């Protein structure tokens, strides 16, 4: 079973700290963390935010980012997920606003990932916003990145070379293709199976992609604004260790409850491999295949080129997460 510590402990598996993230960060040794992934408060006056002047908000973010840089390993990554600050109808993209902080630290921007989530408020005096961004920075040029665990199905998985020395061989990677920097992942709204009372909850599959591609088993993942604990959950199900801070007590309790449910195999999540429903599609985007689930052979949606994965037979409405092995 994972050990949940309420302060940083190198022997713990999960750290869930109630309080200001700067206090927690101050207890973490330099170059400890492989991945920092978070969605900071947007300064728009939500229940869990304190709306301040933009200059004060900038300085508060700067202090946190500087501490994240200090605890980050040389081969590590920082993923800062942000949207827009809206004031009297005017939009300020927070990724552009905060970029100079990362630049001053000589962090290298590797991708500006577009998270297209599909559902949101309908605007009346501008186009309705349907995406946010993830700024992916690395501390050095010698960073860890492995796209294989998150590859997506090829459009033509059986396409082959038709001439030359490779004639008859597959012309694409049999494990799938790079998912690109535009990610179609539903956000957590009222009818989402992961929904809690947190108003800005990460979907687990969004964090899974970052954890699987930027860390190895046993690495530390840090979320300084961990909310309902999604980063800890995405980390622990893939045998990573996770550190999180949350200032609101009720969200700390929700995070703790979700982490414990995940350990028991009772947490409902949306599988990372599930395609988004497209009512205009003429054919399914992935194909059925028989796989062994551990109890019986069942037909589940599975890409024919995804040779190294086994999926459960999940209903369209909900799924239960089951650990393949305990976290030690």
Quote the number of domains for the chain. Answer: 1
Question: Where residue 127 falls among pLDDT bands split at 50, 70, 90?
Answer: confident
| Residue 197 · residue 134 · CB < 8 Å | no
Q: 258 phi and psi, to 5 degrees?
A: -70, -40
| Residue 294 lies inside a defined structural domain of this protein | no
pTM for this entry: 0.79
| Residue 307 lies inside a defined structural domain of this protein | no
Cα–Cα distance for residue pair 34/28, rounded to 1 Å: 13
What residues make up the domain containing 29?
Answer: 4-263
Q: How large is the C-alpha radius of gyration of the chain?
A: 20
| Residue 254 lies inside a defined structural domain of this protein | yes
| Residue 62 lies inside a defined structural domain of this protein | yes
Q: Which string of DSSP letters, residue by residue, matches 177-240?
A: B---SEEE-----TT-TT--S-TTPPPHHHHHHHHHHH--TT-EEEETT-TTTHHHHHHHTTT-
Cα distances (angstroms) measured from residue 326 to each of 48, 126, 233, 283: 33, 49, 13, 38
| Residue 197 lies inside a defined structural domain of this protein | yes
Paired with 135 in beta bridges are 80, 112
| Residue 12 lies inside a defined structural domain of this protein | yes
Tell me the pairing of strands 131-138 and 108-116.
Answer: antiparallel
On the question of pLDDT at 29 being above 90, the answer is yes
| Residue 231 · residue 242 · CB < 8 Å | yes
| Residue 308 lies inside a defined structural domain of this protein | no
The CATH number for 200's domain is 3.40.50.150
Single out the residue of 323, 163, 187 nearest to residue 259, CA to CA.
Answer: 323
| Residue 64 · residue 247 · CB < 8 Å | no
pLDDT digits (tens, 9 = 90+) for 209-235: 999 999 999 999 999 999 889 999 999
Cα–Cα distance for residue pair 86/80, rounded to 1 Å: 19
Question: Where residue 33 falls among pLDDT bands split at 50, 70, 90?
Answer: very high
pLDDT digits (tens, 9 = 90+) for 184-209: 888 767 666 566 656 566 888 999 99
In sequence order, the 6+-apart residues with CB closer than 8 A to the CB of 59 are: none
| Residue 79 lies inside a defined structural domain of this protein | yes
């Amino acid at each position: 079973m994972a050990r949940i510590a309420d302060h940083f402990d190198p022997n713990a598996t999960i750290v869930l700290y109630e309080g200001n993230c700067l206090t927690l960060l101050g207890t973490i040794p330099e170059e400890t963390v492989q991945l920092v992934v978070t969605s900071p408060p947007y300064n728009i006056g939500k229940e869990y935010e304190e709306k301040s002047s933009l200059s004060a908000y900038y300085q508060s973010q700067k202090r946190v980012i500087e501490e994240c840089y200090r605890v980050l390993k040389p081969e590590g990554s920082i993923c800062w997920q942000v949207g827009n600050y809206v004031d009297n109808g005017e939009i300020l993209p927070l990724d552009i606003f905060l970029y100079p902080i990362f630049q001053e630290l000589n962090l290298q921007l590797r991708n500006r990932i577009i998270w297209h989530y599909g559902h949101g408020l309908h605007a009346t005096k501008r186009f309705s916003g349907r995406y946010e961004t993830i700024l992916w920075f690395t501390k050095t040029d010698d960073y860890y990145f492995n796209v294989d665990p998150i590859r997506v199905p090829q459009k033509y998985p059986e396409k082959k070379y038709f001439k030359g020395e490779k004639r008859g061989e597959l012309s694409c990677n049999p494990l799938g293709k790079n998912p690109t920097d535009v990610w179609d992942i539903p956000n957590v709204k009222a009818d989402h199976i992961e929904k809690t009372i947190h108003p800005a909850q990460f979907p687990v599959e969004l964090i899974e992609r970052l954890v699987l591609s930027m860390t190895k088993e046993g690495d530390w993942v840090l979320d300084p604004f961990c909310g309902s604990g999604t980063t800890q959950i995405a980390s622990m199900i893939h045998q990573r260790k996770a550190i999180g801070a949350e200032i609101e007590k009720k969200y700390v309790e929700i995070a703790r409850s979700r982490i414990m449910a995940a350990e028991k195999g009772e947490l409902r999540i949306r599988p990372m491999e599930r395609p988004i429903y497209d009512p205009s599609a003429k054919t399914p985007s992935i194909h059925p295949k028989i796989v062994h689930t551990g109890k019986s052979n069942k037909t589940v949606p599975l890409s024919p080129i995804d040779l190294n994965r086994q999926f459960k037979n999940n209903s369209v409405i909900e799924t239960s997460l089951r650990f393949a092995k305990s976290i030690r």
